[in-house]
Amino acid sequence: MVVAKIAPSLLSSDFACLAQECERMLALGADYLHMDVMDGHFVPNLTLGAPIIKCLRPHTKGFLDCHLMVSHPEQWVDDFASAGADLFCFHIEATEDAAALIDRIHAKGMKAGMAVKPKTPIDVVYPFASNLDQVLVMTVEPGFGGQAFMPDCMQKVSDLRSKFPELDIQVDGGLDTENIAVAAKAGANVIVAGSSIFKAKSPGEVISLFRKTVDEAQAAM
């Protein structure tokens, strides 16, 4: 049985206090620190990159879960490895040789993740899943925070969980206290949430609720 891993999205944090925000989330019970990397090309927004990860790394021992919403992710593997990223998650839609990219990521000492957009069929992941550490099923269109959760994407999570029961399956986009049960029952165990954690009156309570909901759903499977 896989375990719950809660990954606050630092895209919703105060970037002027990024290191402190990371430590605050860890103190509140976060397992991962989700870093949204956007290049202004693969997605229309532009956010942080490897230099910021490198600056952040000495200030936190947290697991840096880097989601690269970028074109040509191959060109950034060395930079993110050197910067101290723990997991390098690329989009299947952005590469022409996913198998080679996964091998490169592992060779650099990072865990490898593969992300799929809402309209991408989940079966494109199947040939690579046994060599992946995590699959990210996007539940919004990548590129901006604060979008509404797409429940239709949960069928992809269910299909993936049925074929790969021990795989870490991450969901990202619009997750909150109202829909976490839907994602957990579908089989997601790694939960990314930005606004619903950072804007909550008690972020620690939200993290605890997410964990409890996922663990109960996994126990019932």
pLDDT of residue 148: 86
Cα distances from 38 to residues 94, 123, 173, 175, in angstroms, run: 12, 25, 15, 20
Of 60-64, 148-152, 176-180, the one with minimum mean pLDDT is 148-152
DSSP state of 131: G
Q: What percent of the chain has pLDDT over 70?
A: 99
Mean pLDDT of the chain: 96
Residues annotated within the binding site for a divalent metal cation are 34, 36, 67, 172
Q: pLDDT-derived band of residue 7, with 50, 70 and 90 as boundaries?
A: very high
- Cα diameter, the chain: 44
DSSP state of 125: T
Q: Are 197 and 204 within 8 A, CB to CB? A: no
pLDDT tens digit string along 121-154?
999 999 999 999 999 999 998 876 667 899 999 9
Cα gap 207→28, rounded to integer Å: 7
pLDDT tens digit string along 182-221?
999 999 999 999 999 999 999 999 999 999 999 999 999 9
Q: pLDDT-derived band of residue 101, with 50, 70 and 90 as boundaries?
A: very high
Q: What is the CA radius of gyration of the chain?
A: 16
b/e map of 35-63 (b: 16 or more CB within 10 Å)?
Answer: bbbbbeebbeeebbbbebbeebbeebebb
Contacts of 16 (CB under 8 A, 6+ apart): none
b/e map of 195-204 (b: 16 or more CB within 10 Å)?
Answer: bbbbebeebe
Backbone angles phi, psi at 201, to 5 degrees: -65, -35
Domain extents in the chain: 5-220
Residues annotated within the binding site for substrate are 9, 67, 143-146, 174, 194-195
Spatial CA neighbour of 91 closest among 145, 37, 45, 50: 37
CATH number of 5-220: 3.20.20.70
Catalytic residue among 133, 168, 172, 176: 172
Within 67-168, residue ranges assigned H as helices are 77-83, 98-107, 154-163
Catalytic residue among 31, 36, 65, 168: 36
Task: Kindly list the strands in the beta sheet with 87-91, ordered across the sheet, starting from the edge strand earlier in the chain.
Answer: 5-8, 190-193, 168-172, 134-138, 111-116, 87-91, 63-69, 32-38
Reduced to 3 DSSP states, what percent helix, strand and coil does the chain have, rounded to the nearest 5? 45, 20, 35
Our answer to whether residue 176 is catalytic in this structure is no
Cα gap 79→49, rounded to integer Å: 9
Our answer to whether residue 36 is catalytic in this structure is yes
